[in-house]
Copies of this chain bind each other. A is one copy, B any other.
Amino acid sequence: MHQCECNSRCLFPQMQMRFDGLLGFPGGFVNLQKETLETGLSRELWEELGVAIPISVEDHVVSCLAPALFSSTSSSCLITHLYVKRMEEEQILEVERAAASTAKDHGHEVLGMIRVPLYTIKGEGGLASFLSHSFIGNARSQLVESLLQSYMPATSQGLPITAHAYNLCPFT
């Protein structure tokens, strides 16, 4: 067992190992001429996680231009839209089970779901080690942003949440 310096009730945002070997959030591209950001995000989540997760504009946290590394895969200028969906622990467990069994993209677009360790171990392990991994685009800064903006109130409320922060990239 590990020694955990977290609060009594550990919280756990979720990320995924992507097909390209990098860490990132569930999500994908949205064509705004065919669907809204929220509808497109729900569609992507269904494909990647295997569960229906309704997304509303209230879940939106921040939007920003995608970094060059990320946008180089497209000739268009990309904007990433970060959403955070709060969930109870049982809902998160349901997502993890479905993502490893019924999700269409399991083993293809998504190589596995993981929890982000929101604690430190002897001052260096846990979140610090996790942030040293390789992330797609600006996913690392998005994770930190979502923690700063969304986790703090949740912690005070004692609610477990999942930082399902989604990259939604409109084509134009």
Q: Kindly supply a per-residue 1/0 record for chain A positions 100-129, scoring 1 wherever the CB is within 8 Å of any chain B CB and 0 otherwise.
A: 110000111101111111000100011111
The answer to whether the Cβ of A130 comes within 8 Å of any Cβ in the partner chain is: yes
Q: Kindly supply a per-residue 1/0 record for chain A positions 27-47, scoring 1 wherever the CB is within 8 Å of any chain B CB and 0 otherwise.
A: 000000000000000000000
The answer to whether the Cβ of A97 comes within 8 Å of any Cβ in the partner chain is: yes
Pair A96/B108 contact, Cβ less than 8 Å? no
Interface locus among A16-24, A55-63, A145-153: A16-24
A interface residue numbers (CB < 8 A to B): 1-2, 4, 12, 17, 19-23, 93, 96-97, 99-101, 106-109, 111-117, 121, 125-134
Partner of A21, one of B19, B21, B117: B117
Partner of A125, one of B20, B113, B115, B121: B20
Complex: A130 Cα to B93 Cα, angstroms: 26
Pair B117/A19 contact, Cβ less than 8 Å? yes
Pair B130/A21 contact, Cβ less than 8 Å? yes
Partner of A12, one of B23, B107, B109, B114: B107
> Which residues on the B side are within 8 Å of A109 (C-beta)?
1-2
What is the CB-to-nearest-CB distance from A19 to chain B, in angstroms, rounded to a whole number?
Answer: 4
> Which residues on the B side are within 8 Å of A93 (C-beta)?
101
Pair A112/B113 contact, Cβ less than 8 Å? yes
